[in-house]
A = this chain, B = another copy of it.
Amino acid sequence: MSLVVVGSVAYDGVETPHGKVDRMLGGSCTYIALAASFFAPVKIVAVVGEDFAPEDYELLASREIGLEGLERVPGKTFFWAGKYSEDMNDRTTLRTDLNVFADFNPKLPESYRSLPYLLLGNIQPALQRSVRAQMNGVRFVGGDTMNLWIRETHDELIETIREWDFLLINDSEARMLSGEHNLRRAAGKIMSTGPHTLVIKRGEYGAILFQGGYYFMVPGYLLEDVFDPTGAGDCFAGGFMGYLAERGIDPGHGDIEHQELRRAAIYGSVMGSFCCEKFGVDRFRNLTRAEIDARYREFKSLTDF
């Protein structure tokens, strides 16, 4: 089944201890869509400027990602630059030029509106809400957010996620949103505001999936070399939602669906791990489904007792 993805398509400048790239394809929508495209048909909604390169269109098209909702407008594409610390646990933003993204007002093509799965990448809550409102009869909807929106548009954000089936955020954001340091309590509070399913990402440590009274520990894969962690969280989201769309699962109800949800979270961690193996989106240029499934089986062996 098809998945609609909304978010940013950008150019990134990234420096890690392994090297430096001045300008390469990035953005939450890009990472999510590429990761999800290994599982299900994906259609994106985003905006780029006149500088958006033909080879970047081609990369997305080569993964059969639907580009009808990728608007091209006068001006430059969103640009972000950042530098990672020696241990890659911290990063400093060096530059953020919103450019054409400043006036992004996502409009869904008619052909997207009745699709069953919707993943809202990290953009302003008001925009996420407007996209949600343009969908008819969506089966499973959720998304990401960030500290900026929790701080500056708190009430709008709460109204937005009230309509979501799942929320996917990192641990510090979960603490900030709930006002609880303890993650189990934080999860309880957040889920009482709407989403029946919650994924709290913990960077290299993996993630925790909460649903109903259950939680499930998703390990992080132990890479020998982390080249560039940019986009890993988005690729988690893409693998997670991509797998659910592939299986046609509505994971709000039932034990079989709950088991599928766990597998989806493992696929999320798998896709996040591949993302870090090369700079930017490079790992997705030649990744195969066989490699993905092999790493999924490796996760089984890493956790089986």
By size class, the interface of chain A is 20 to 34
A262 touches B225 (CB 8 A): no
Partner of A302, one of B87, B185, B215, B265: B215
CB-contacts of A179-236 with B (<8 A): 181-185, 202, 205-206, 208, 214-217, 219, 222-226
A111 at the interface (CB under 8 A from B): no
Contact assessment for A223 and B305 in the assembled complex, using a CB-CB cutoff below 8 Å: no
Closest to A205 in B: B205
Which one of B181, B202, B205, B303 contacts A303 once the chains associate, using CB atoms below 8 Å? Answer: B303
- A224 contacts across to B, CB distance below 8 A: 182, 184-185
Q: Which of B86, B182, B183, B301 contacts A225 (CB 8 A)?
A: B182
B216 touching A305 by the CB < 8 A rule? yes
Complex contact A208–B182 (CB within 8 A): no
A266 interfacial contact with B, CB 8 Å: yes
Q: Which of B184, B206, B225, B303 contacts A222 (CB 8 A)?
A: B184
Q: Is the CB of B182 within 8 A of A305?
A: no
Q: Is the CB of B183 within 8 A of A217?
A: no
A91 within 8 A of B: no
Determine if A63 is an interface residue (Cβ-Cβ < 8 Å): no
**B contact residues around A183 at 8 Å (CB):** 222
Q: Return the chain B residue nearest A259 by Cβ.
A: B305
Residue among B184, B259, B262, B304 making CB contact with A223, cutoff 8 Å = B184
- Which residue of B has the minimal Cβ distance to A216? B302
Q: Is A263 an interface residue (CB 8 A)?
A: yes
Contact of A266 with B305 at beta-carbon distance under 8 Å, contacts A87-B181, A205-B205 already known: yes
On whether A216 and B182 interact (CB within 8 A), knowing A205-B205, A208-B222, A222-B208, the answer reads: no
What separation, in Å, do the CA atoms of A263 and B303 have in the docked complex?
11
Chain A positions 223-259 with a Cβ under 8 Å from a chain B Cβ = 223-226, 259
Q: Per-position contact with B for A277-305: 1 when CB-CB < 8 Å, else 0?
A: 00000000000000000000000111111
Shortest distance in angstroms between A147's beta carbon and chain B's nearest beta carbon? 16
Task: Tell me the bound Cα distance from A265 to B302 in angstroms.
Answer: 13
Given contacts A202-B205, A206-B217, A216-B305, 11 further A-B contacts (CB under 8 A): A87-B181, A184-B222, A184-B223, A184-B224, A205-B205, A215-B302, A217-B219, A217-B302, A262-B304, A263-B305, A303-B305
